[in-house]
A and B are shown apart, each in its own frame.
Chain A
Amino acid sequence: MVSSDYGALKVHEVRLRVGALAGVAKDALLFCYDIATADTTLAGSKLVVNEVPVILYCSVCREEKELTDLQRFRCPVCDTPSGDIRQGRDLEIESILIDEYAST
């Protein structure tokens, strides 16, 4: 992502959406963010990590359910196994908080 593509003069904040199955450690990300962004247009900006749970579809309940136990891919209500994952692998830049020229 090149922030200048979006007409940003300065980036204050980057919001990242990270699923529980994304294989990304929040602490490690936060730890290296300042080093990785030094000397870039993101220097001095803050990284906000929004962790989202795994959601799977239960064919018995006919509903999406939030998984609380990553060691058990089953419906938390009726215990039906499910391989139908609707959320959890997310690794996405949701938004950035920027300064831009006022459009007159």
Chain B
Amino acid sequence: MNTRVLEIRKGVLNKNDELAATLRERFTAAGVIAFNLVSSPGTGKTAFLEKTLRAMREAGLRVAALVGDLETDNDARRLASSGAPVRQINTHRCCHLEAAMIAEHLEGWDLNELDYLFIENVGNLVCPSSYDLGEKLRIAMLSVTEGEDKPLKYPGMFNSADIAVITKMDLAEACDFDRAAAHANIEAVRPGMRIFEVSAKRGMGMAQWIDWLVQLRASADNQRSHLR
């Protein structure tokens, strides 16, 4: 019998990464732009998505959403009120979404019928950062009531994101929100990241966000037609 060191060099989350890569290929092939929304619980992901889905449907865009929570389908019901196709993913004990859960819950949906897919992750600023869901863009959100230093406390999450959204701007004054500090902190952990400021409740900033989504679609379509 021998005792020896065996090199493995294998990612612990290899299986998830491979599945996420397959999902990403499927989204790209079907021309769907997928987003993964992450934040603490209560930041306003569902409220923001509800308004986003509604506005996009009014603009004639084809949107759908998956929403992860430990328990209940409350968020799915809130989102479905927009008229968009929505499915709830109950993770039970799991504090994050994984690529396998996305694949499972997409079953029966024709991706070719969609332009945008929004995935609301479980409220948690740590674990979801390690799990690729096949999204094109990751959106890290923070509300004005959480403190401007959230990005510094969770650099792993904010650094892994592509877009930042500051929510509940209607409450900014009431909580003495330091806008410059929040922007500087986001910039510190993720230089150059685009930042949106919105209030799902009062509607401010939502038009710019929707415009940007529409433009994103247009440039993605442009690229696709160039590739053909």
Contacts and interface: CB of A to CB of B under 8 A. Distances in A.
A83 B155 contact: no
A73 B188 contact: yes
A81 B191 contact: yes
B159 A21 contact: yes
A83 B192 contact: yes
B5 interface: yes
A81 B8 contact: no
Contacts of A52: none
Main secondary structure of the interface of B (DSSP, over half): mixed
A75 to B, nearest CB: 11
Contact of B3 (A71, A82, A95, A99): A99
Contacts of A81: 187, 191-192
Contacts of A1: 8, 10
Contacts of A92: 9-12
Nearest to A101: B1
A93 B159 CA distance: 23
Nearest to B151: A71
Nearest to A13: B5
A43 interface: no
B190 interface: yes
Interface in A22-54: 22-24
Contacts of A97: 3-6
B130 interface: yes
Nearest to A90: B11
B189 A73 contact: yes
Given A23-B127, A95-B5, A103-B2, 12 more contacts: A21-B159, A23-B157, A71-B152, A72-B188, A73-B155, A73-B189, A81-B191, A83-B191, A92-B11, A94-B8, A96-B5, A101-B2
Interface of B: 1-13, 126-127, 129-130, 152, 155-157, 159-160, 187-193
6 shortest interchain CB distances as A-B pairs: A81-B191, A93-B8, A21-B156, A71-B152, A70-B155, A91-B12
